[in-house]
Amino acid sequence: MILKNPFKTETRELFIWNYDCWICDMNGWDSGHHILGRISSSPLNFCPIHNQKCHLGNGKLVTFEVRKKLLKKTYEYLKKSRYDFTSKDRSFIAKNKKYYKDIIVH
């Protein structure tokens, strides 16, 4: 099956040194979750989680609070990793500013 808007290998590799699932904080994540859905393949829309335990059937993943928490964790992780944000990433932030207004402080 070909997924619509899958994450590139380069995006997955950005998280290679992260071992924890960002939902339950336990080791061994095995899935890359599109935080805001498949609207963007930007690394800012990626979070590592356990597919069976924390992803499938988890209705909380679509709540504003959980999405904001995951976006913040991803943003901070990428910043700490010295990731160079692209124009695609900056566009993602601008389109989703309601989530980022307390995350990115100028």
* Contact assessment for residue 45 and residue 86, using Cβ atoms and an 8 Å cutoff: no
DSSP string of 70-85?
HHHHHHHHHHHTT---
Run of H or E residues at 31: strand 31-34
Q: Model pTM? A: 0.92
Question: What is the distance between the alpha carbons of residues 47 and 12, in angstroms, rounded to a whole number?
Answer: 9
Q: Give residue limits of the domains in the chain.
A: 9-100
Question: What is the distance between the alpha carbons of residues 31 and 54, in angstroms, rounded to a whole number?
Answer: 10
The alpha carbon torsion through 26, 32, 51, 5 (nearest 10 deg) reads 170
Per-residue pLDDT of the chain (106 residues; tens, 9 = 90+): 455 668 899 999 999 999 999 999 999 999 999 999 999 999 999 999 999 999 998 999 999 999 999 999 999 999 999 999 999 999 999 999 999 998 887 6
The residues, any chain, with a CB within 8 Å of residue 10's CB and separated by 6 or more, are none
- Residue 74 main-chain phi, psi, to 5 deg: -65, -45
Residue labelled with tokens 């380069």 = 10
